[in-house]
A and B are shown apart, each in its own frame.
Chain A
């Protein structure tokens, strides 16, 4: 088992591509076959696997915002983006598990692991844990 913490400096409603950093962590773990588990420890952000294209990522964030608009009349009384962020987080999820084979993540050529910021800008943490096959 290998684990490390990544820091992400986000912008408001940013879609930050973590794929390269995660590939680095997998390599650093030295594990050839197993599971890579990525989780972020916040409740107003999400982890997604999506297209790496910038426009595609922007579209996704726009549609998330359209589904859960940052409105002013949430029951939770903090900032609107905080209240809305909690809901977006619940929808997008906070963690991803990926398969490692031959020392590398199995990901499609257009896929990216993306940190979706629903509030921000903020310093954010992502935990990468790599488990070897027993």
Chain B
């Protein structure tokens, strides 16, 4: 069985990330610098980040970057589901003008994204679309646009490069916000760009092995009909992203959970030996002891595990479990992990799809026609 026969768009996107890095940073920095006037940025005290599907996960994953660069007393950074922003958000006059609502959408096309931006505007908040298409609905609905400038790719779906672009752009935006508000040192954007470059480069050496081992694991897991993705905090965003890629490229159903609740609930799923269990954790994660306990609990019932981590700790993995060791983010920049730690999971998803010969997004037809992402009615605030 030759890996090359199963090469596929998602896998190619994964492997393209190191090459994308420089272009993307250039695009993002350019976008960040031109997005919002300095005097507006200086007034921002609260940021609400939103997005649909995996963009919501991006919103969640960049919060630590905002806290690192731009947090002082009285600031607040929060990820909110797009449906909640578009239908349930309320801001009073006093707070609205210091609030920035950021909607993330590479295509800028979903109805809900435009609706969220319009609602935020209605309450007097500043709004920004993070998009690769300034002419889109999102671009037109927002007061400001952070144009991420991601270069084209032959097979761009499902949008893995876009996810990378959103994360990189938002983290750089956080650094920029810290700079202009005087909370972080000048040149923080440059310093962060350098770290992103290094972290991404460190993956480039590790990618061939990762690609190989995920191809092998996909063969073992090929017949599984359900997966659990586990992670805490921003690793939960990564776990969710991996789950979303699995669904998009293969249609297999995945549950996403944090370590603790998994031990209480998802643990009890039937067919434990045929339920692939992907765990994402970090060497500096405060949940390490719980991760080990969770692995133990899962292995006791015969769950096959893929552990994605940069940690050297002994997790007492059994023979039916696999470890995918990934590079560590640069010290002091642990918050960068979500820009890349999904890669092994995404590779696994891509091969699972390829080996089972399943069409991405179920191959159009009714699947394309029945979906209402773009056609959903926009409700005015």
Direct contact of A and B (CB under 8 A): no
The chain A residues found within 8 Å of chain B, CB to CB, are none
